[in-house]
C-alpha cells in the first residue's frame, strides 16, 4: 500500500476513534510490501511491530492561561460593542477589531501572567459598561475579594484644530490605578460623537 494512503488511513482511524484505537494490523505495517513468507518466517521480523505515528498530526491543547485570555478577550469585545452602541460601533468597529482589540488582548495576557491558574479562576469581567460620557468599558476583578485588577477605559479627546478621537487605555491595581497605559487611538470626526450606548 502506498505510504501516503497508509498514513491517511492511520490519521482517519485515529481521528474517528479519538485515538482510542491503535492500529496494529498488517495494513499499518511498513513491511506490507514484503512477501507474506518474510512476515512470518524470519526471526528478525517476529518482533512486535510498532504502529506508525504521524508526527504531522498533533492535538493542540491550550493552557489554562491561554483559555482565560481568549475568554476575556471575547468578553472585552462584547462589552466594548455594548458601550459603543450602534451609532458609534457602525463607524469604528473594524478599526477597533484591527487596532485596539489585539492591544487589549496583550494587556489581558500580561495580567494573566501575574496569576496562578487557581487565581485566574477567581477573575471575572464586570457586566456594565459606562454609558453617556463615562470612560469605563469593563474591569477585570477578583470575585473573592471584589477588588479590581485592571480597568479598561475609552476617553473622548479633542486636540486643538483636530477632530474628536477615542483614546483607549487601561489602569492597573499595582499603582492604585494612577498610571494611564495607552492602548491606541481611533479618529472620529470633527463633529461631536454621540453619547456611549446611543441607539
Tens of pLDDT, residues 9-18: 656 665 655 5
Tens of pLDDT, residues 107-150: 999 999 999 999 999 999 998 898 888 999 999 999 999 999 99
pLDDT, averaged across the chain: 81
Task: Say if residue 172's pLDDT is above 80.
Answer: yes
pLDDT at res. 51: 53
Of the candidates 167, 174, 119, 116, the residue with the CA atom closest to the CA atom of residue 150: 174
Task: Say if residue 28's pLDDT is above 50.
Answer: no
**How far is residue 66's CA from residue 46's CA, in Å, rounded to a whole number?**
46
**How far is residue 69's CA from residue 51's CA, in Å, rounded to a whole number?**
37
Task: Identify the residue with better confidence: 24 or 129.
Answer: 129
Tens of pLDDT, residues 73-97: 999 999 999 999 999 999 999 999 9
Residues 6+ away with beta carbon under 8 Å from 38 = 31, 45
pLDDT at res. 48: 53
- For the chain, domain boundaries: 3-45, 64-187
DSSP reduced 3-state for 95: helix
| pTM confidence score | 0.68
Amino acid at each position: 500500500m502506498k505510504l501516503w494512503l497508509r498514513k491517511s488511513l492511520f490519521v482517519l482511524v485515529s481521528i474517528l476513534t479519538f485515538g482510542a484505537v491503535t492500529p496494529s494490523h498488517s495494513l499499518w505495517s511498513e513491511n506490507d510490501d514484503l512477501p507474506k513468507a518474510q512476515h512470518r518466517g524470519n526471526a528478525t521480523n517476529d518482533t512486535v511491530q510498532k504502529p506508525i505515528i504521524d508526527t504531522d498530526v498533533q492535538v493542540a491543547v491550550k493552557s489554562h492561561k491561554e483559555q482565560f485570555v481568549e475568554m476575556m478577550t471575547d468578553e472585552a469585545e462584547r462589552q466594548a460593542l455594548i458601550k459603543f452602541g450602534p451609532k458609534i460601533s457602525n463607524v469604528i468597529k473594524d478599526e477597533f477589531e484591527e487596532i485596539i482589540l489585539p492591544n487589549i488582548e496583550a494587556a489581558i495576557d500580561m495580567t494573566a501572567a501575574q496569576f496562578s491558574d487557581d487565581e485566574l479562576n477567581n477573575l471575572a469581567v464586570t457586566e456594565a459598561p459606562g454609558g453617556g460620557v463615562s470612560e469605563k468599558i469593563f474591569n477585570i476583578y477578583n470575585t473573592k475579594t471584589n477588588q479590581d485588577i485592571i480597568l479598561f477605559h475609552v476617553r473622548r479627546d479633542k486636540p486643538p484644530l483636530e477632530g474628536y478621537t477615542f483614546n483607549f487605555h487601561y489602569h492597573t491595581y499595582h499603582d492604585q490605578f494612577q498610571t494611564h497605559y495607552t492602548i491606541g487611538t481611533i479618529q472620529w470626526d470633527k463633529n461631536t460623537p454621540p453619547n456611549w450606548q446611543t441607539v
